[in-house]
Amino acid sequence: MYDCQSDNCTDFSFAFADTVGCPRPLSGPLVALPAQDGDTLSLTELAAFASRLGYQCEVNRARLTVHDISLSDALAVNARFGQQLIISCDLRRDPPVLFNE
């Protein structure tokens, strides 16, 4: 779990794998909204930042979606743009982690 208030990750693990059949690292969509109405400059700056990192972005009105972002890059986005934007990110691993009871 990631706590954006303290910029801290706890209670999960992830692995990076380059081979076929191994799990992919955590990734998913990151959605950003302006913290103040009309602040589209921060969205434009985030889109440029994400594009430089190699991510595809989609803008829909005052909402920016960065597709398939990794955990480390999502943390970098939050650290850099967290004061100007409301950032939400749903990261998952494929295949999902199975927990034994």
Query: In a structure prediction context, what are the per-residue pLDDT tens digits for the chain, which is 101 residues long?
Result: 556 666 666 555 544 444 445 556 789 999 999 998 888 899 999 999 999 999 999 999 889 999 999 999 999 999 999 999 999 999 988 776 666 65
Give the chain's mean pLDDT: 82
- Specify the fold of 2-14+26-89: Alpha-Beta Plaits (3.30.70)
Each domain of the chain, given as residue ranges in start order, spans 2-14+26-89
CA distances from residue 44 to 8, 13, 24, 101 in whole angstroms, order as listed = 26, 32, 29, 45
**pTM of model > 0.75:** no
Q: Which amino acid is at 7?
A: D
